[in-house]
Amino acid sequence: MKIEVYSPTIRRKEMDAVLTAMVEDNIGPGEPSQKLVQIAREFLGFDYCVPLRSPAVALYFALKALDLHDGDRVLISALAPKYCSWVLESLRLSPVYCDTAPSSVMLSPETAGAAIQAGEKTPGALVVHHVLGFVPDMASLAEMGIPLIEDCSRSYAPPSGEEEKAGKSGAVFSILGLEERDALTAGGGALLYAQTRRDSGPLRNFEFPGEYSLPGINAALAQIQFKEAARNFAKRRDIALLYTQASLRTRHKHIVRNDEPEYNNYAFPLILETGMKDVIAYGKRKEISVEYALEDTLMGAGLVPKEACPEAYSLSLRTALFPLYPRLSSTQITKVSKFLATLP
C-alpha cells in the first residue's frame, strides 16, 4: 500500500468525542466550542479567543480588527497560503509580497525591510505565517513597529512552560488553524486569539454570525487533539531523527531554521539538488508519495511574480515533502528512511 505524505492522526478518543457531540445534538456552534476555548487557554495562554469556521475567516476578522482602509498595504510572505489572496481582495487591501531568506521558507527582518522600502507607504499590517512549521524571528519582526498577525497553524507544539506558549511573540493577533493538514486538526476551523486585554478589545466588539463560528462537532475533535498533542509530537520527533540521519547520505539540503523555538517536526521537507520529477517518479516505484511542499502557497499558485521574490520562487520548485506523521508504523518508517537514503 502506498505511503501518503499526510494523514491526520485520529484515534479512538477523537472518534468517541465526535460521537458524543452527535448523540448530544451538539454539532453546531455552542457548548463544545466554549469548552475548547477553555482547554486551548491552558496551552496558549491568551486573554481572549474566538473559535471560527476556517483560517481564512480568522484572517479576515484579524485584519478588520486593525481598522485598515481601502488600499492600505499588507506585508505578507510569498509563501503564505493562497487563500490569503481572497481575504485581501475581499477587504480591498493591497499585498506587499516579501521574499524569504536564502534556503529558508521564513521571511526575515531584512527581507521584510526590503519589501517595505520598495513602496511609498508603510504597510498597515504584517502577516507572518509559520510556513511548514518553521518560526521566523518574531521578536525582531515585532520590533519593526508594524501591527503583526501571526499564523502558527503549522508550528504549534505543546509548551513546556509559560514562556513557550504559542503566540508569545509580540503579535497583536494569532491564528491557530485546525484544518486537515494543520499541526492540530479538527477537520476544519481556526482559533483567533489575542494575548492581551488591550489587543482583544476589537475582537470582543465583533458580533460573529453562527455561519462563521466553529461547529461543535469540530470543536469536540479539537479538544482531544490538544490533550494528545504531547504524545503525537514526541512520535514526530523520533521519526524525524531517523529521517535526518538517512537524508544526510544524500546531497539534498535541509531548510535553514532558527535555533529557537525547537522545530516541531510538522513535516519533513528537503530542498532538492536534482529534478523534482525524478524524485516523484522514484517514489512511485517505491510506493511512497512525494509532494511539492509549497504548492498551496501564493507563489506555488502563481499569484506572485517570480522576479519579485526569487528565493521563494526557487524554493517552490525544489522543495519536496516526504511522509511524516505519528500513525506511521515501524515498517513504514524504515521503508521511508531507506527511500530517503537512496534518493536520486
The closest of 275, 267, 269, 276 to 253, measured between CA atoms, is: 269
How far, in Å, CA of 117 to CA of 75, rounded? 11
DSSP element (H, E) containing 127: strand 125-129
Ordered domains of the chain (ranges, CATH): 12-226 (3.40.640.10), 229-341 (3.90.1150.10)
287: DSSP letter: T
**Structure-block grid coordinates of residue 155:** 508550528
The alpha carbon of residue 236 and the mean position of all alpha carbons in its chain are separated, in whole angstroms, by: 16
Contact 119, 112 (CB under 8 A): no
Per-residue pLDDT at 25: 67
Per-residue pLDDT at 168: 60
The closest of 300, 260, 56 to 168, measured between CA atoms, is: 260
For the chain, the straight-line distance linking the first and the last C-alpha, in angstroms and rounded, comes to 22
Per-residue pLDDT at 40: 95
Contact 308, 97 (CB under 8 A): yes
How far, in Å, CA of 201 to CA of 223, rounded? 25
Per-residue pLDDT at 18: 67
How far, in Å, CA of 59 to CA of 175, rounded? 7
Q: Name the residue with cell 466550542.
A: 33
Contact 324, 265 (CB under 8 A): yes
Q: The dihedral of CA 126, 132, 137, 138: what is its sign?
A: positive
Q: The dihedral of CA 251, 257, 259, 263: what is its sign?
A: negative
Give the CA distances from residue 187 to residues 8, 128, 177, in Å, rounded to whole numbers and listed in that order. 9, 23, 10
Per-residue pLDDT at 28: 67
Alpha helices, DSSP H only, in 118-186? 138-142
**Omega before 261 cis (within 30°)?**
yes
The tens place of each residue's pLDDT in the chain, 344 residues long, gives 899 999 988 788 777 766 776 767 666 677 888 999 999 999 999 999 999 999 999 999 999 999 999 999 999 999 999 999 999 999 999 999 999 988 899 999 999 998 888 777 889 999 999 999 999 999 999 999 999 999 999 999 988 755 454 446 789 999 999 999 999 999 999 999 999 999 999 999 998 888 899 998 899 999 999 999 999 999 999 999 999 999 999 999 999 887 767 899 999 999 999 889 999 999 999 999 999 999 999 999 999 999 999 999 999 999 999 999 999 999 999 999 999 999 99
184: DSSP letter: S
